[in-house]
Structure 1
Amino acid sequence: MIKPRNGAGLGRLPLFGAHKMDDGTKNNAHRNTEQNLADRVRYIMRSKIFDDAEIERLRSEAIPSSNESAMAGDAAPQASDQHPHVESAMDLPVPPDITQKLTERIDDMKQKIAAWGRRIRRFTERSRWFNQNHLYQSEQKRIYKSLERPEVYRADLGPDQADTIAFWRGLWSEPVNHSEGSWIEVVTSQGANVTAMDPITITPEDVTEAVLRAPNWKSPWLDGLHPYWLKGFVVCHTVLARQFQEALDQKSLPSLFTTGITHLVLKDQDTTDPIKYRPITFQNVYYRLWVKKRKVFSDEVTKSDIMIIMEHAPKMKNRLKHLVFLADTDHHSISDLARVVIWSLITGVPYVSFYDITGELKHNEEKLFWAIEKNKKGIPGCIKWSNKPDLNGYTYGMNANTVIINIFNYLNGRPQIVNCIKQIAKGELLCEKKSIEYTTQEFGEALTQIYSSIPDPDLILYTGPLCCSYGLMPWQIRLAEFIQLSLDHSVNIESYLGALFKYNKCDQRFGK
């Protein structure tokens, strides 16, 4: 409660004219009011807000006439006694500096409005891009439907179907005579000494792994079946495996696998000429599965992969210390992750970590171990597991590389910090402190007792159209580079080396 000083009460001052003023204060207030009114009149006359008739009307309303003054008696003073500064302001010329200041003020307001408009447009575009990326990640069918434009031309203005088929058949179906050079005979003679591959048996499990990598809502074939439904109907995998095996045994692909759907997109105003259309051909689902299934048999690290890495690795100046791969078991197989480890072993990356997005990799850690051992098959080097020392092997050779593997998930982020603080509060974790409050360095030393001592990530690889950390430890990725490995979640040696070369071109600025 506020008490009055010296026994005086805290009165409430009225807003208008109830408090007493001396003569000097009255004169100053009167002069300020007259000057303010004169400035306003000068601004109105200069800016031409009102025309002459409107100004005369406002003046007659503001300044009473002689008849009204006579009727009012002493209540209303004469116009000459009431506003002398107003009459003088009507006749004064407008200073040129006032016009310049007003022009500058208007320009400033226009620039502010334009800046706000640009900010709104940038926010709208960024929101649209974010929503499209999120929708593409979750349901591609909806994003394709939202991008469809309404029909601009009527159906009767299109090209004749017979003319269109004849035109494109004349381009695509005509036999081509290739020139047989002498170098073809040399390559054929060199390939005669190559040992033939062992017979391959395609199992339903191979088809399942190939279907797992296929996008859910890509363009379907004539049957309208999307890969999403092929993932769910496991019974179809046996039939597809039998058909693929028959294609291998007969050494010919059926027409169902090689036929595509071609859409013609108009690129000119002439809608009746087939030449004015751009063809866009979509491969059917089964052909894409056939290509992906062929990659299943090449999941192992081959000799060509080793030669490619040994050729390009010396060209990289910036050596990686810690590589993080955002592993999504819905799109990445265990073989993909194993090949990333072997490639990093050959390249010389000492730390490789997998961030488990779905939480399934933690349960399949043993499968990852055996897949890595299968792909390693005599490659010099040592692979160590940070959380399982009993699985660590021995180093072959004096100059062999060593890779330490870590698997993290969302529990290793903020929940791990909360667990560390609980252990410090209970006294279960030794943490030396020099004052009452913990410093950043002291808390970092406490975290190293829970985490394995690993350097901060230099490069984080992700696949797919969406760049997201998925809760990856934010205090450790402040200097990391996010680089997209592929758009369709595929993992190959070309994209891996391309990401490393792209990282080498990055110039990190740490400040002063």
Structure 2
Amino acid sequence: MHRLFAELEPSVTVTEQNLADRVRYILRSNTFDVTELERLRREAVPSSGENAAAEDAAPQLAEQTANVDAAVNTPVVVDSNDDETVAQELELEQMRSTLEEAIVETRSTTLENRPRLPRLALSKRNRAVVRALNPMLVTYLEASRDLCDTDSILFGAALAVCRIIGAKLSTAGRATGQSSAIPAWRIRIEERIAKARALIGRLICFRSGNTRPRIVRTVRMAFAGTNVSLSQPDIMQKLTERIDDLKQRIAAWGKRIRRYTERSTRFNQNRLFQKRLYKSLERPIVSGTGPAPNQADMVAFWRSLWSDP
């Protein structure tokens, strides 16, 4: 290996041990991804005419070449953003089959029924997967028929990346929407109400004489940041004030939910009324046909509507 390196880089002075240590460090630290290692291996491996000279090199050359081949064909371990070691198999054949299945599935799926793709973190592992899939897309893109087919190919590639790295995909299509789901703000307010009710229960238990360690710890957390101590003579009054404050907050949060719910209901009703109104305006006007309405029936009909508070 040292003899071959000296022929390739005669201007660089390095010892045999130093060169072996650097190669071993590069292989163990996984500085390069699968695609980069494959390119370096093709550039570094001598041609058939130079094989005879390479066979006379030091035993370390064969060992390091085998390590390079093993690094290409075995799972690659890279460091994620939070310095945790992640092991993931990046075999090219499996990735190619996953890409082909994703493209075929995307081509047969309408745009409305495609899953929503999550936002991926820019980690070394994710970038390695993308770099390995990019060369595979050339064949599909060259055979693309139109812009829609190109869009299906690119979306299938993104879907394949998510499946390879194990990202969670949404099962609902794009056209489903989130109209029937509970809004995030309401979930947050309901969680606050549930925590406040649980805290009120603990405070009432402590006020009733329950001094279990869990109850006492919760009461101390409720008065954290204040000058209230459990050994004060007016602790019962402080507990009552704290409970009343939590009850008022729960009532305010409940009114907020009801106010937003009523506003949403009015908005949906107005929108439905506008649709019916516009639809009626689009119909042809027919006048002078049929019997005239009865006055008593009209009064009874509108009285039943407007007499309701």
- TM-score scaled to structure 2, two decimals? 0.22
Q: Work out which structure has the larger RCO, using CA pairs closer than 8 Å and 6 or more positions apart in sequence.
A: 2
Higher strand fraction: Structure 1 or Structure 2?
A: 1
> Counting helix residues as a fraction of each chain, which structure ranks higher?
2
From the CA coordinates, give the structure whose radius of gyration is larger: 1
